[in-house]
Every structure is written in C-alpha cells, then in structure tokens.
C-alpha cells in the first residue's frame, strides 16, 4: 500500500492584477482586476513506504505548494491527497501525527529557549510517552550528536546546529513520513554530510518515507533512488536518475589519444572532434558499451590514453526542467 497518494491535484490562487503607473495604482484601489494563477496543475503520483524521493524543480515550479498541501497547511482547489489513507484536508490532526516537517529556512524550535526545552515542549504537543521520547533522543544523539548542543539556547546555534535540532525535533514523535524542504541550504561540507547520514540512517532503521525538496544536486545523487521533477505546476519526469538520464541524455563521449595521428571510425560511434592524435567519439549507450567501443578502436590502432565522459547531473536536470509534461492518468 502506498504511504502517499496524490490524485489529480490542482491548486489555484487568486491574485490582483497590478497596472503600471499612478493611474493604474489609483484604479486598483477602486476596481481591482483579479486573475487566477495555477500553481499545481493536475498532478498525480504515489510513494511507497521507505522510499526516499527527490521532489525537485526550478523556483516557482510548485514544489513547496505541493508539500504544503500534503502536510495540510494548504487545501487543494481540487483533487485528492491521502497520507496512510487519510486526507490532510479532512483530518489534519490525525495526519500531522504521522508527519515530520523541516523547512530549511524556518524553524519549529523556540528561539529564546534551550534546545532541550524546545524538545520538551514538542514532546507535550505530540503527546510522546517517556519510553518513546527517551529512545528517540538516544537515536538522535547517536546520529546527530544532539547532547553536545542540548543546553544551548536556540538563538545561539549555528545554522548547521539548528538544522540538526530541527531534524531531531521532527523525529521526536516517530513519524511515518518526513518532509524535508532544502535541509542542507547554506551548510558547509561537514554539516551536509551529517544531515545526509541522518536521512540514510532513519530511513534504513525505521523505514521512514522521505520526500526531499532541494536545489542541491549532491543531495539528490547521494540520497534519492527516485526523483519527481515538477515545472510550471506539472510533472515532467518521474523515475530513477539513471533512467531519466538514459532517456533524455542517452549519449556518452569517449576521448581517445593515440600514439600518432589516426583516422579511426566506428559504425556505432560518431566522430565529433579530432585534434592531432586525440579523437572524440560520441555513442549511444543503448547501442554499444564503452568497453566494446574501446576494444574495437584498440584493435585498429595503439591507444596512449582514454577517457569516458557522461552527461553531468546539472545538464540532465536542466534538460528535464524543459521537458514536455507527463500525461495525467
């Protein structure tokens, strides 16, 4: 059974159309013209228990709006969301108990309290029993070294320390689903490593389902076996990064340096560049493997050096952002 089901989800907002100049501003005071903006436009997907899914897209694509609807903060204009079979719109209180939410640029911690006091307040809000609280705090300390900062006022925490505190706070009530919005934004390399380790471990130990929105492609590569790409309110890709790459960037390049200038061709590779003894071949990875191409070329001439280039993740995601939307079913 899917932990999250999203069916034909639509979210529209009414905005006031602003006209230029003083005349337009005065007109707007008395007769404002409104327009409908569609932030999310008929999207559907499901997420299974224990998945770590990257939900990504450019700014304004509809990512945060979708997450806010899934967590019950916003109500959809139409369509349906179910979290473990429950609608956040109809029974938000029950759904919230199953969710942990972390927004990278906002905190659920209490600014003027010590971190440990924030945890105590959240414990009471979620009605977490002593045994569960103690167990979760021990786990958070093992992974995030929370005890080293537990007596520090939240306002004195560094960005990385506060993020560790927010992640621990989100897991105090043992949620089934964890929404993470830009959890590594602004963090240094060590802090990013700690956050990614935390996500991997709570997913492995508890089968926590994780939905990750991020602009950090390192997060996607290291954590997500599946990514959903949204742009202009519609889903343009849904699948593993490898499969998306194979579909939209199926080519590899093989750069071969021979001991002398050569004119070596291959029926399954395009010769795209030649500079002296160095030749660049482009080939489809579904037609011939790199090893086969290397072997065939090496049988025709002696090779001094060789290098294989894949499409990088930045290019793959950029192409995917501009892809045609998938058809809703």
- Whether the pLDDT of residue 156 is over 90: the answer is yes
pLDDT confidence of residue 19: 66
Residue 326 scores a pLDDT above 70: no
pLDDT number for residue 60: 84
Instruction: Give residue 313's pLDDT band: very low, low, confident or very high (50, 70, 90).
Output: confident
Look at residue 286 in the predicted model and tell me its pLDDT: 86
Tell me how far apart the alpha carbons of residues 261 and 153 are, in angstroms, rounded to a whole number.
68
Q: 92: which residues sit within 8 A by CB, 6+ positions away?
A: 72
Which residues have CB under 8 Å from 194's CB, separation 6+? 144, 145, 160, 164
- Supply the pLDDT for residue 329: 41
Q: What is the per-residue pLDDT for 80?
A: 94
How many CA atoms within 13 Å lie on the side-chain side of 121? 11
**What band does 22 get if pLDDT is binned at 50, 70 and 90?**
low
Per the CATH hierarchy, to which homologous superfamily does domain 2-98+175-245 belong? P-loop containing nucleotide triphosphate hydrolases (3.40.50.300)
Average pLDDT, the chain: 88
Residues 135-146 have pLDDT tens digits of: 999 989 998 889
Task: Rank 24-28, 36-40, 46-50, 68-72 by mean pLDDT and report only the highest.
Answer: 46-50
Q: What average pLDDT score do residues 249-271 get?
A: 92
Predicted local distance difference test score (pLDDT) of residue 328: 44
Least confident range of 116-125, 229-238, 305-314? 305-314
Res. 234: pLDDT tops 80: yes
Look at residue 327 and tell me whether its pLDDT is greater than 80: no
Torsion angle in degrees (nearest 10) through CA of 50, 51, 52, 58: -140
Task: Assign 182 a pLDDT band (cuts: 50, 70, 90).
Answer: confident
Q: Report pLDDT for 309.
A: 87
Percent of the chain whose pLDDT exceeds 90: 57
User: What confidence score (pLDDT) does residue 70 get?
Assistant: 92
pTM of the predicted model as reported, rounded to 2 decimal places: 0.78
For the chain, the structural domain boundaries read 2-98+175-245, 250-310
Would you say residue 242 has pLDDT above 90? no
Angstrom distance (rounded) from CA 208 to CA 203: 5
The C-alpha atoms of residue 94 and residue 90 are separated, in whole angstroms, by 9
């Amino acid at each position: 059974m899917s932990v999250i089901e999203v069916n034909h989800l639509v979210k529209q907002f009414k905005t006031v159309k602003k006209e230029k100049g003083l005349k337009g501003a005065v007109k707007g005071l008395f007769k404002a013209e409104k327009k409908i903006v569609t932030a999310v436009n008929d999207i559907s997907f499901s997420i299974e228990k224990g998945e770590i899914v990257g939900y990504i897209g450019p700014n304004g694509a509809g990512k945060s709006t979708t997450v806010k609807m899934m967590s019950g903060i916003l109500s959809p204009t139409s369509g349906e969301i179910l979290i473990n079979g429950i609608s956040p719109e109809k029974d938000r209180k029950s759904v919230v108990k199953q969710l942990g939410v972390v927004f990278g640029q906002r905190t659920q911690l209490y600014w003027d309290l010590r971190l440990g006091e924030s945890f105590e307040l959240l414990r009471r809000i979620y009605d977490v029993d002593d045994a569960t609280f103690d167990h979760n705090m021990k786990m958070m300390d093992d992974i995030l070294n929370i005890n080293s900062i537990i007596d520090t006022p939240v306002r004195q925490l560094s960005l990385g320390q506060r993020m560790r505190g927010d992640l621990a706070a989100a897991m105090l009530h043992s949620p089934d689903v964890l929404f993470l919005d830009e959890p590594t934004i602004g963090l240094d390399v060590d802090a990013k490593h700690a956050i990614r380790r935390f996500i991997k471990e709570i997913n492995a130990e508890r089968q926590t389902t994780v939905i990750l929105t991020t602009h950090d492609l390192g997060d996607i590569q290291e954590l997500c076996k599946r990514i959903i790409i949204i742009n202009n309110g519609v889903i343009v890709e849904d699948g593993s990064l490898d499969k998306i790459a194979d579909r939209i960037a199926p080519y590899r390049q093989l750069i071969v340096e021979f001991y002398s200038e050569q004119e070596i061709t291959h029926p399954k590779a395009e010769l795209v560049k030649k500079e002296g003894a160095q030749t660049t071949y482009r080939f489809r990875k579904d037609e011939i493997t790199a090893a086969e191409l290397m072997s065939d070329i090496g049988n025709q001439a002696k090779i001094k050096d060789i290098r294989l280039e894949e499409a990088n993740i930045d290019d793959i995601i950029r192409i995917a952002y501009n892809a045609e939307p998938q058809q809703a079913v």
